[in-house]
């Protein structure tokens, strides 16, 4: 064969190699617990939400700095102070099914939340102010009258009262064609979102598989997929990471202290800001002594919370004396620095309440999930030593624990809220508003409710923030709970892995992930 022919053949083969697609690249990460559901209409909890937000999107999203950015809406405007909203939807967006995303899908999603049985969808709380929502929930109407659709990419929403935050609410919009195609169990059979990844499979208790959405409006992900292994046991998590089975390993809070101090992980630890509040919650309905504000304040003063920042969180936590993440949505509280532990004052308050040395107080248990076992044990010992209250520790599997506090079955328990949208309203109203379905403490204060309702109607952030400060003052003055340190999100990442971030709302962002 002539040399020139061989050379040409070599060039052809070389071009084919260069043009060939790169081998499939799957990012391997972990989950600290199994999903609670694959259904976007069910209240997800933090871990499940972090997965579903890869698949489903709303009007806006939270960026890595905690700011609201446009997602499926490119713009929104109000001409009457938030009483009505006009949304311009992003054009050219495709669901994972290939169907086009339109205003009809928004309306269908909302109507499904309001009419879902036996419980409404979790977004029904955010929709309660839409005209016609109550009638639709009662069955007195067949459609949501407060929503009109001038064209496929425009949506007009009329509210019964002004709501300046409506565009920020964490709606996740769903492909309306899937229920007709697959029936009510469609979340187990199909992926119904527009997000950068489609929901491919879920092996309960074992793993979740996400596959890249090549037609994503923001550009296809850099990896072909994400394999999420369910690894609730910390020792197994580290063993799998050390064996090279994981590229990214988000660390549960009770593993951070030991992991970050190990030399073998030098250069592999990544930390991210967390938009969360944490506290020891008290349920006055279950434990009558908690109805006395002096008893609640004695709990706070008996605990050396500052010591846990270094002792339990390796310095990767922040203690604030409040119930809103400082800086969230530009908000800055005026609360004082965290009060130090004061055992003498704590004992005096308990004595004033008629329970000197813990006399007459029924036994207590601090309830929590496995990730707070050490913290719960530390606090229980302090309460016993300082106040003389017999306090045990009850650790439940996460799903059972969430069910118990949702149903009001725990008197003293770890609780918190990670912001779903960047405004203090989320953390204040979700946790403390009397009618909130996630008010797990069953706290009730009509003055607080009035402040929250007024703030919701104010378009001016400065005026809204002033009311938030008043609301926080009520919670602090009433010793509503015991604020706790908020740890950072910490993850181990294999050398060469880039582009993975954890947003302040707890959502891992895999879209720009790249493997070595």
In words, the CATH class of domain 56-188 is alpha beta
Q: Tell me the CATH number of domain 197-273+489-509, given options 3.30.470.20, 3.40.190.10, 3.90.650.10, 3.40.50.300.
A: 3.40.190.10
CA distance 74 to 61: 11
DSSP 371-418: GGHHHHHHHHHHHHHHH---EEEEE--HHHHHHHHHTT--SEEEEEEE
Comma-separated ranges of CATH 3.90.76.10 domains in the chain = 56-188
Please give the model's pTM, rounded to 2 decimal places: 0.84
Please name the residue that has the structure tokens 């596959």: 211
Query: Where are any strands of DSSP class E within 10-121?
Result: 26-31, 60-62, 68-70, 73-77, 84-89
- The edge-to-edge listing of strands for the beta sheet with 197-203 is 26-31, 225-230, 207-212, 197-203
Question: DSSP secondary-structure letter at 156?
Answer: E
Compute the distance between CA of residue 246 and CA of residue 30 in angstroms, rounded to an integer: 7
Close Cβ partners of 409 (under 8 Å, ≥ 6 residues apart): 286
Q: Please give, one letter per residue, the 3-state secondary structure of 54-84.
A: HHCCCCEEECCCCCEEECCEEEEECCCCCCE
Q: Is the dihedral of CA 447, 449, 450, 455 positive or negative?
A: positive
Which CATH superfamily hosts domain 276-487? Dipeptide-binding Protein; Domain 3 (3.10.105.10)
Q: What is the pLDDT of residue 254?
A: 83
User: Where does CATH 3.40.190.10 sit in the chain?
Assistant: 197-273+489-509
Q: What pLDDT is attached to residue 335?
A: 65
Distances (CA, A) of 499 to 27, 55, 251, 511: 11, 18, 18, 8
Q: Pairing mode, if any, of strands 269-272 and 486-487? A: unpaired
Tell me the average confidence (pLDDT) per consecutive run of 10 residues in the chain, 516 residues long.
47 42 76 93 88 97 89 96 96 98 98 94 93 97 97 98 94 96 92 98 97 97 97 95 97 89 94 94 96 97 95 90 89 80 97 95 94 94 95 93 94 94 93 93 96 93 95 95 95 97 93 95
Beta bridge mates, 498: 514
Buried b (16+ CB within 10 A) or exposed e, 373-402: eebbebbbebbbebbbbebebbbbebeebb
User: Any bridge partners for residue 391, and if so which?
Assistant: 364
The residue whose two tokens read 């809070």 is 253
Where in the chain is CATH 3.10.105.10?
276-487
Please name the residue that has the structure tokens 């296809």.
220
- Distance (Å, whole) CA 440 – CA 277: 14
At 483 the pLDDT is 95
Amino acid 241: pLDDT: 97
Count the Cβ atoms, other than its own, within 10 Å of residue 268.
17
């Amino acid at each position: 064969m002539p040399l020139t022919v061989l050379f040409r053949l070599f060039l052809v083969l070389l071009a084919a190699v260069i043009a060939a697609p790169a081998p499939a690249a799957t990012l391997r990460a972990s989950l600290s617990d199994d999903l609670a559901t694959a259904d976007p209409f069910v209240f997800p909890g933090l871990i499940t939400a972090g997965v579903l937000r890869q698949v489903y999107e709303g009007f806006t999203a939270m960026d890595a700095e905690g700011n609201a950015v446009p997602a499926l809406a490119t713009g929104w405007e109000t001409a009457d102070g938030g009483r009505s909203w006009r949304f311009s939807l992003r054009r050219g967006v495709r669901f994972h099914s290939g169907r086009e995303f339109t205003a009809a899908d928004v309306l269908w999603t909302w109507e499904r939340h309001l009419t879902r049985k036996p419980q409404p969808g979790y977004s029904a709380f955010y929709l309660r102010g839409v005209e016609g929502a109550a009638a639709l929930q009662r069955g007195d109407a067949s459609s949501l009258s407060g929503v009109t659709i001038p064209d496929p990419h425009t949506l007009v929403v009329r509210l019964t009262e002004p709501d300046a935050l409506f565009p920020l609410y964490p709606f996740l919009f769903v492909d309306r064609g899937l229920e007709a195609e697959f029936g009510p169990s469609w979340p187990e059979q199909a992926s119904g979102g527009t997000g950068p990844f489609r929901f491919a499979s879920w092996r309960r208790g074992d793993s979740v598989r996400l596959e890249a959405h090549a037609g994503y409006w923001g550009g296809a992900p850099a990896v072909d997929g994400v394999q999420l292994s369910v690894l609730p046991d910390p020792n197994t998590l580290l063993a799998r990471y050390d064996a090279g089975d994981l590229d990214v390993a988000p660390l549960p809070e009770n593993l951070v202290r030991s992991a970050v101090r190990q030399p073998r992980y030098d250069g592999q630890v990544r930390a991210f800001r967390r938009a969360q509040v944490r506290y020891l919650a008290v349920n006055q309905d279950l434990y009558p002594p908690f109805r006395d504000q002096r008893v609640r304040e004695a709990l706070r003063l008996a605990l050396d919370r500052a010591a846990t920042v270094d002792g339990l969180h390796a310095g990767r936590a922040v203690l604030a004396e409040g119930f809103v993440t400082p800086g969230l949505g530009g908000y800055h509280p005026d609360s004082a620095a965290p009060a130090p532990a004061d055992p003498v004052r704590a004992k005096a308050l308990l004595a004033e309440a008629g329970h000197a040395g813990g006399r007459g107080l029924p036994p207590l248990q601090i309830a929590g999930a496995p990730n707070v076992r050490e913290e719960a044990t530390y606090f229980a010992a302090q309460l016993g030593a300082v106040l003389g209250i017999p306090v045990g520790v009850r650790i439940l599997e996460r799903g059972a624990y969430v069910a118990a506090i949702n149903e009001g079955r725990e008197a003293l328990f770890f609780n918190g809220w990670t912001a779903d949208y960047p405004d203090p309203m989320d953390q204040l109203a979700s946790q403390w508003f009397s009618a909130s379905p996630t008010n797990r403490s069953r706290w009730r204060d009509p003055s607080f409710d009035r402040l929250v309702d007024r703030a919701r109607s104010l378009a001016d952030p400065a005026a809204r923030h002033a009311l938030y400060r008043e609301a926080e003052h009520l919670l602090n003055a009433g010793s509503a709970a015991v604020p706790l340190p908020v740890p950072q999100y910490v993850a181990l990442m294999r050398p060469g892995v880039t582009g993975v971030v954890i947003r302040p709302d707890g959502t891992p962002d895999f879209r720009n992930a790249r493997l070595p």
